[in-house]
Amino acid sequence: MNRLVLDDELETFADAELEKADCNAIVMKNPKFEAIRDVDHAANVASFMTNPGRTKFACINKQCATTNDPWILVTNIPSETAKSGKPGSGCGSGRIPFEDGLCYVPETTQKPNESPVTAEVEKSVSSSISFLAVAFYAYFH
Question: How crowded is residue 100: how many other Cβ atoms within 10 Å of its Cβ?
Answer: 9
CA nearest neighbour of 55 among 24, 29, 80: 80
pLDDT given for residue 14 in this prediction: 86
pLDDT in tens, 53-67: 777 888 888 887 766
pLDDT given for residue 111 in this prediction: 55
Specify whether the CB–CB gap between 88 and 103 falls below 8 A: yes
Sequence ranges of the domains in the chain: 5-140
Per-residue pLDDT of the chain (141 residues; tens, 9 = 90+): 677 788 888 888 888 888 888 877 778 888 888 888 765 655 566 677 777 777 788 888 888 776 677 777 777 776 666 667 666 667 777 777 777 777 777 766 555 555 555 666 565 556 666 656 666 666 665
pLDDT in tens, 116-134: 556 665 655 566 666 566 6
CA nearest neighbour of 55 among 96, 94, 5: 5
Question: How crowded is residue 46: how many other Cβ atoms within 10 Å of its Cβ?
Answer: 15
